[in-house]
Amino acid sequence: MLSRTADSLFWMARYMERAENLARLLEVGHRLAITPGETGGNEWLSTVTIAGCGQDFFETHQNATAQTVTDFLGLSEHNSYSIPSCIANARGNGRAVRTALTSSMWESLNGTWLDLETKRREALSGTGVIDYLDWIKDRSMQFTGAITSTMLRSDAYYFTQMGTLLERADNTARILDVKYHVLLPEHEAVGGGLDFYQWNAILRAVTANRAYHYLYRDSLQPWLIAEMLILRSELPRSLVGCLAGVTDCLEKLSNAYGARKDCVRMANALHADLAYGKIEDIFQQGLHEFLTDFLRRNYALADQIQRDYLL
């Protein structure tokens, strides 16, 4: 297939996944804001930090509040980080390679884009932000559903999947990293005190609160939450879960093309480190250091995939 087509599919999937993740992040922010306990409003600061747009945000805003952050990340059309920008980019990439999309995929993607303005206006009227975020999540999941249920299992599918998975891994790592620091009360050491509601909110961000109780049958413990989000392959949004998917796609692609590229080695190495990693070692190294390193390697892998196939 055309390199440009593969590239557009890859980014279409990434942007759609990013829109969903932003919706999840904002939902968590709104949830934290109404739960008991003093967070001092720093959940909004952390939300901006996770999204990786702190600098740009504070160029135009004084304070991170429910209003400003929801507007900036959720509703604004004037910055490239926001949900509307992600949807527009996803649709733009999809439209550029329409022939590579099934009609279900296209209609889902285009339908989201067409209805976005109405939904945005409803949300702006002040009452409907949560409904709006739910709608974004629904549309994203409908889209990934259309991908898995209608797309041929050929190279186009693998590039699309990898876009979703690499973006998802990036997001899970960011949620864990930033929340881990921001959520801790200032004078308590990491791993010390635990605010149930706040950790619960992290789990909600990745729809894993039930999964946690199923896997651990224990009260919420930071290191177990970290272990689940990093090392448990059962959790589809865990780092190891996402990377298992990526290596699988690359294996199939290599077999189909009859050639193994550099990115295959990188993906397998990263996956192996997660698959055989232990949470004790990660804490020994320092969770923040581990996650920073993961984000760097995940980024390098995406970059290598682009070099090997998409240019």
Partner 1 sequence: MSGPFFDEMHNPDGSLRELYRQIQEWIDENPPDFIEMKRREAEFLYRRTGITFAVYSEGGSTERIIPFDIIPRLIDANEWDLLRRGLTQRAQALNAFLADVYSDQRILKERIVDPALILLNSAYEPEMQGVKVPGDVYTHIAGIDIVRVGPEEFYVLEDNARTPSGVSYMLENREMMMRLFPDLFTRYAVAPVDRYPEELLATLASVAPPRISGEPTTVLLTPGRYNSAYYEHSFLADMMGIELVEGQDLFVSDTVVYMRTTEGPKRVDVIYRRVDDAFIDPLTFNPDSMLGVPGLMTAYRAGNVVLANAVGAGIADDKSVYTHVPDMIRFYLDQEPILKNVPTYKCSEADDLAYTLEHLEELVVKEVHGSGGYGMLVGPKATKEEREKFAEKLKAMPDQFIAQPTLALSTVPTYVNEGIAPRHVDLRPFILCGSEITIVPGGLTRVALKEGSLVVNSSQGGGTKDTWVITGEQARYA
Q: Binding residues for partner 1, per CB under 8 A?
A: 1-6, 92, 95-99, 103, 106-107, 110-111, 114, 155, 159, 257, 259, 309-311
Please tell me the distance from the alpha carbon of residue 146 to that of residue 308, in angstroms, as a whole number.
27
Q: How far is the CB of 84 from partner 1 (least distance, A)?
A: 16
Q: How far is the CB of 114 from partner 1 (least distance, A)?
A: 7
Pick the closer one to partner 1 by CB: 139 or 174.
Answer: 139
Half-sphere exposure of 149 (CA within 13 A, CB side): 10
Pick the closer one to partner 1 by CB: 92 or 185.
Answer: 92
Q: How far is the CB of 292 from partner 1 (least distance, A)?
A: 31
Half-sphere exposure of 183 (CA within 13 A, CB side): 26
Pick the closer one to partner 1 by CB: 7 or 43.
Answer: 7
310 contacts: CB under 8 Å, gap ≥ 6: 3, 4, 6, 7, 10, 159
Q: How far is the CB of 235 from partner 1 (least distance, A)?
A: 30
Pick the closer one to partner 1 by CB: 78 or 278.
Answer: 78
43 and 34 Cβ atoms separated by less than 8 Å: no
10 and 310 Cβ atoms separated by less than 8 Å: yes
Please tell me the distance from the alpha carbon of residue 5 to that of residue 100, in angstroms, as a whole number.
7
260 and 307 Cβ atoms separated by less than 8 Å: no
Pick the closer one to partner 1 by CB: 79 or 110.
Answer: 110
Q: How far is the CB of 266 from partner 1 (least distance, A)?
A: 17
Pick the closer one to partner 1 by CB: 63 or 103.
Answer: 103
Q: How far is the CB of 1 from partner 1 (least distance, A)?
A: 5
Half-sphere exposure of 239 (CA within 13 A, CB side): 32
Indicate the DSSP class of residue 151. Answer: S
